[in-house]
Amino acid sequence: MLIQENLTLQQKLEILSDAAKYDVACTSSGADRRGKKGTIGSAVSCGICHSFAADGRCISLLKILLTNECIYDCRYCVNRISNDTVRTSFTPEEICTLTMEFYRRNYIEGLFLSSGILRTPNYTMEQIYQALFLLREKYRFWGYIHVKAIPGADPELIERVGHLADRMSINLELPTGDGLKKLAPAKTRERILTPMRQIQKGIRQDQYMVEERKREKKIYLGSGASASGGRSHTAAQSDASSVKISSKAGLAETKISAVGTASPSGIGKHDSGNTGTASLPSARSALHYEQKSRFVPAGQSTQMIIGATPETDHQILQVTEALYQKFDLKRVFFSAYTAVNDDSELPALGTKPPLLREHRLYQADWLLRFYGFDASELLTEERPYFHQELDPECDWAIRHLENFPVEINRADYTQILRVPGIGVKSARRIVQARRSAKLDFPDLKKFGVVLKRAAYFITCNGKMMNPTKIEEEYLTHMLTADGRSQTRQLADQSEFHQLSLFDDFALASQPSAADTVKSLTGQM
What are the tens digits of pLDDT across the range 78-125? Answer: 999 999 889 999 999 999 999 999 999 888 888 999 999 999 999 999
Mean of all residue pLDDT scores within the chain: 81
- Rounded mean pLDDT, 144-161: 95
| Predicted confidence (pLDDT) at residue 321 exceeds the cutoff of 90 | yes
Kindly give, in sequence order, each residue whose CB lies less than 8 Å from that of residue 300, ignoring residues fewer than 6 positions away.
Answer: 167, 168, 169, 170, 196, 199, 200, 203, 327, 328, 329, 330
pLDDT band for position 471 (50/70/90)? very high
Q: By mean pLDDT, which of 189-198, 271-280, 475-484 is the weakest? A: 271-280
Pair 144, 166: CB distance under 8 Å: yes
Q: Long-range CB contacts (< 8 A, 24+ apart) of 186-190?
A: 186/72, 186/73, 186/74, 187/72, 187/74, 187/151
Pair 160, 137: CB distance under 8 Å: no
| Predicted confidence (pLDDT) at residue 510 exceeds the cutoff of 80 | no
3-state secondary structure 307-373: CCCCCCHHHHHHHHHHHHHHHCCCEEEEEECCCCCCCCCCCCCCCCCCHHHHHHHHHHHHHHHHCCC
- Rounded mean pLDDT, 170-177: 94
pLDDT tens for 276-303 read 444 566 655 665 556 568 999 999 999 9
pLDDT at residue 128, as a whole number: 97
pLDDT at residue 256, as a whole number: 32
Q: By mean pLDDT, which of 427-431, 491-495, 501-505 is the weakest? A: 501-505
The dihedral of CA 361, 366, 368, 373: what is its sign? negative
- Whether residue 405 is preceded by a cis peptide bond, meaning omega within 30 degrees of 0, is yes
Please tell me what DSSP assigns to residue 401. Answer: G
pLDDT band for position 235 (50/70/90)? very low
**Cα-only R_g, the chain:** 26
More confident position, 387 or 242: 387
| Predicted confidence (pLDDT) at residue 247 exceeds the cutoff of 60 | no
Amino acid symbol at 497: H
Count of other CB atoms within 10 angstroms of residue 420? 24
Kindly give, in sequence order, each residue whose CB lies less than 8 Å from that of residue 351, ignoring residues fewer than 6 positions away.
Answer: 339
pLDDT tens for 252-274 read 333 333 322 333 334 444 343 34
C-alpha to C-alpha distance for 384 and 368, rounded to whole angstroms = 17
| Predicted confidence (pLDDT) at residue 66 exceeds the cutoff of 90 | yes
| Predicted confidence (pLDDT) at residue 239 exceeds the cutoff of 70 | no
Kindly give, in sequence order, each residue whose CB lies less than 8 Å from that of residue 254, ignoring residues fewer than 6 positions away.
Answer: 263, 264, 265
Reported pTM: 0.79
Q: By mean pLDDT, which of 280-284, 435-439, 518-522 is the weakest? A: 518-522
C-alpha to C-alpha distance for 519 and 299, rounded to whole angstroms = 34
pLDDT at residue 48, as a whole number: 53
Q: Which fold has domain 2-207+294-337?
A: TIM Barrel (3.20.20)
pLDDT at residue 232, as a whole number: 45
Domain spans of the chain?
A: 2-207+294-337, 387-492
